[in-house]
Amino acid sequence: MNRKRIAIIGGGFSGASLAALLMQASPRPSVTLIERSARLGAGLAYGANDGAHLLNVRASNMSAFATEPDHFARWLKARTGESADAFAPRKLYGAYVAETLRKASGAFGHRLQRVRGEAIACERDGEAWRISLADGRVIAADAVALAIGHRPPRALAPFAQSGVALIDAWDEAAQRLLPRGDVLLLGTGLTMVDVALSLARRRSAGTIFALSRRGLTPRPHLDPPRPRPSERIDLPPPLSTALAVFRAEVARLNAAGEPWQQAMERLRHYTTPLWRRLSPHEQRRFLRHLRPYWDVHRHRMAPSIAARIDALKSAGRLRILAGEITSAEPAGRSVLVEHRQRGSFARHRFEVAGIINCTGGDSDLGRSDDPLLNQMLRAGLIRPHTSGVGLDLDSESRVIGADGAAHASLFAVGPLTQGAFWESTAVPDIRLWLAEIAAKLC
């Protein structure tokens, strides 16, 4: 089906790359790319200015285009001389996405309209769509793609109740203003890793505490890399059986001298079918009990980053805590926090100069403060996925409304789709969905 007007809401990696793909289509549609910030392509993931923050995927697997797997590796080689095995700086990848969009629009710039603004409503207009911006502008489209990135982290009760303000993980200005002393990071995933490295470089003294319920941190990639296994692991439902089969496979690999990372690689591009075969109850069980373990083994650190984190731990600059914060209260320019260690009733009090929220985006639409998503929820145009993560979608990434029917001309890509597809938030997975969505839009 040919459509003349396509609106993409969100100009991070997903939105910018989808626009670039559409500019290569024939016939070429008219595309409006709506983004609230001035910079296209970077988004939250690739917008930081710290060159020490590296991608957690090698350049060889970071192409924006599924049909050109070496696209980024060639760009990086020409720009820096780095090989396809390199873990490039995140900010450099943001520049790559922006340049890719500029080149794709190129001579067809009149077919791509960049609109800076915040979409606050999306409504049906007969067979078409009408998108309203916060400044009063209205954009008409025949089809819409929701490429909204990660939402802000959710409010955390101990701090909200006591009036203790948390610092955003990407607010470098606020972090630079922290007084001397120790710092507490909430969350121990990849965001924590980036923030800890930046803090350790800027602050010559003090301990960086990082806390999560289980105290798990990302594992490293293999170094040197190994070819991805060609065979996949067939994990039968239910979830308990799948987990037992996977653990047995890891044990078999270990006995044969093979690293566990190879077992994870054998799940790639098969995880989504497995996820969709799980019942809603089993998906929620996975999210409650297994997700932390999945995340640290699936979303790994570059080897050089892992070495730097280990060095910070050995020097006592970084301490990983498992458990929960039971209370927090202002203490002059500092914050006094009480921590209960996992598996213990004992509580420990310590003082920190500030607390940085590294828990990641909140994917629960019921808690969203996004005006666009809230309006679409109220209008019944979208509904939450039964897992509680993101939007409900059909198998082709079309958005399902409150009536249970999928909209033929409303799609979603990126973090909003995680509940429906699970493996849909990393570049190697997103680009596959982008190719499918672009083909349907054109």
Q: What is the pLDDT of residues 259-314, one digit of tens each?
A: 999 999 998 878 999 999 999 999 999 999 999 999 999 999 999 999 999 999 99
d(CA 440, CA 427): 20
Q: According to the model, what pLDDT value does residue 107 have?
A: 56
The b/e string for 356-367 (b: 16+ C-beta within 10 A; e otherwise) is bbbbbbbbbbee
* Domains with residue ranges and CATH for the chain: 5-152+362-441 (3.50.50.60), 157-219+301-357 (3.50.50.60), 239-298 (no CATH)
Percent of the chain clearing pLDDT 70 (strictly above)? 97
Q: Which residue has the tokens 């590796």?
A: 73
Under the banding of pLDDT at 50, 70 and 90, the label for residue 413 is: very high
d(CA 352, CA 115): 42
DSSP string, 218-287: PPBPPSS--PPPSS-----SSHHHHHHHHHHHHHHHHHTT--THHHHHTTTTTHHHHHHHS-HHHHHHII
Q: Quick one: tokens of 99?
A: 């340049």
- pLDDT of 5-31, one tens digit each? 999 999 999 999 999 999 988 888 999
What letter does residue 442 receive in the DSSP assignment? Answer: -
Cβ atoms of 16 and 33 closer than 8 Å: yes
Of 369 and 74, the one with more pLDDT: 74
Q: According to the model, what pLDDT value does residue 132 have?
A: 98
Query: Which positions ≥6 away from 227 have C-beta within 8 Å?
Result: none
d(CA 64, CA 135): 32
Under the banding of pLDDT at 50, 70 and 90, the label for residue 68 is: very high
329 three-state secondary structure: strand
Average of per-residue pLDDT across 382-410: 97
Cβ atoms of 16 and 100 closer than 8 Å: yes
The b/e string for 61-88 (b: 16+ C-beta within 10 A; e otherwise) is bbbbbbeeeebbbebbeeeeeeebebbb
Under the banding of pLDDT at 50, 70 and 90, the label for residue 105 is: confident
Of 153 and 235, the one with more pLDDT: 235
Average of per-residue pLDDT across 199-203: 95
The pLDDT of residue 3 is above 80 = no
Cβ atoms of 428 and 61 closer than 8 Å: yes
Cβ atoms of 287 and 388 closer than 8 Å: yes
Q: What is the dihedral of CA 112, 118, 122, 127, to 10 degrees?
A: -20
Under the banding of pLDDT at 50, 70 and 90, the label for residue 1 is: very low
Query: Element (H or E) spanning 310, and its range?
Result: helix 303-314
DSSP string, 356-398: EE-S-----GGG---HHHHHHHHTTS--B-TTSSSB-B-TTSE
In the sheet with 354-357, reading across from the earlier edge strand, the strands are 167-168, 354-357, 183-186, 208-212, 318-331, 334-341, 347-352
Cβ atoms of 342 and 356 closer than 8 Å: no
